Amino acid sequence: MSDKPSLGFVGLGLMGTAMSQRLLEKGWQLNVWNLESERIAPVVAAGAVAMASPAQVAAESDIVLMCVLHTQAVEQCVFGPAGIAQTARSGQILVDHSTADPKKSKGLAAKLRAETGMGWVDAPVSGGPLAARAGELTIMAGGEEQDVDVVRPIMADLAANFTRAGGSGAGQVAKMLNQAIVGTTYVLMAEALVLAESSDIDAAKLPECLAGGHADGTLLRQLYPRMQARAFEPPLGYARQLLKDMHAVQSEIHGLGLELPLIEKAVTQYETYVSAGNDMKDGASIVNLYKKD
């Protein structure tokens, strides 16, 4: 590979688009594909080259980044009829930024390497589209250490924190834990806000009141004001996506034979909210589930 490898990007949703735009601004050559073709045009306008399939992306790129909806989409994009594996070759690396099942991800990585020689780094992200545009994502990685080292220069343009959590699948485990904390805290933050708005306090002052205490943090400083203002357009992340991630956490809990009622309750709240037609609403708009009389 050259000092500046050509990159591919498969999946141009909210996160994939923001990450692609960031990489183009940082001078990377980028070949892109997305299932819904209308999402490709803005990225091409920024300098990317449109490809006809994930297979063509892999054929024209040294390193392929991918950010798709779920584990099934990951498998289809890699091993489907026009998938990455069709043109993959030894020396390439696939960096999967999707949030996927850890065990399945590990199995797919092993299959891709055995059949094609292409390496796989599972590297799910946290931080949202705004952090992606600013190069301030948190990216948790799993995979062979040498593969992770190869992609570090790319990740340096996307992330403020890029950490190898362990071998294949470890990045997905770390992301699952991240989503358990995020999803549960979103519900807790919504309930704290409703309690504040129902009590004898200026609810907007709560982050200032609690600054520096144990309850202080990014979610209190950034999420709470958005919830309090009900400022959810455009969405920074979809409720259906967070529910999908929480279902993965729930599956892991049950598989390990654990009883974790707080997380289970958060899953139930998101199920109720999404089933009421709010699947494409911002995940933080869960606060709208709580209606004051």
Crossing angle of helices 239-255 and 170-197, rounded to 10°: 120
Task: For residues 33 and 107, state if they share a domain.
Answer: yes
Boundary-marking domain end, from 113, 135, 167: 167
- Among the residues of the chain, which ranges form H helices? 14-25, 40-45, 54-59, 71-79, 102-116, 128-134, 145-156, 170-197, 206-210, 218, 224-229, 239-255, 261-273
Phi, psi of 30 (to 5 degrees): -135, 125
Amino acid 76: pLDDT:
98
Residue 51 and residue 147 in one domain: yes
Question: In Å, how far from its chain's centre is CA 157?
Answer: 16
* Burial (CB count within 10 angstroms: exposed 0-12, middle 13-18, buried 19+), residue 260: middle
Are residues 79 and 180 both part of a single domain? no
pLDDT digits (tens, 9 = 90+) for 233-260: 999 889 999 999 999 999 999 999 999 9
Give the CATH number of the domain where residue 199 resides: 1.10.1040.10
**How big is the chain, counted in residues?**
293
- Examine the domain organization and report whether 127 and 157 are in the same domain: yes
* CA–CA separation, 6 and 48 (whole Å): 11
User: Tokens 């040294």 belong to which residue?
Assistant: 62
Helices 102-116 and 71-79, axial angle in degrees (round to 10): 10
- Per-residue pLDDT of the chain (293 residues), as tens digits, is 447 899 999 999 999 999 999 999 999 999 999 999 999 999 999 999 999 999 999 999 999 999 999 999 999 999 999 999 999 999 999 999 999 999 999 999 999 999 999 999 999 999 989 999 999 999 999 999 999 999 999 999 999 999 999 999 999 999 999 999 999 999 999 999 999 999 999 999 999 999 999 999 989 999 999 999 999 999 988 999 999 999 999 999 999 999 999 999 999 999 999 999 999 999 999 999 997 64
**Do 228 and 139 lie in a common domain?**
no
Which of 129, 144, 167 represents a domain boundary (last residue)? Answer: 167
The residue out of 132, 151, 167 marking a domain boundary is 167
- 271 φ/ψ angles, rounded to the nearest 5 degrees: -60, -45
Are the CB atoms for 61 and 28 separated by under 8 Å? Answer: no
**Residue 277 and residue 154 share a domain:** no
Model pLDDT, residue 291:
77
Which residues form the domain of 29?
7-167
110 and 132 belong to one structural domain: yes
Helix and strand tally (H, E) in the chain? 13, 9
Residues 243 and 149 in one domain: no
In this structure, are 28 and 161 located in the same domain? yes
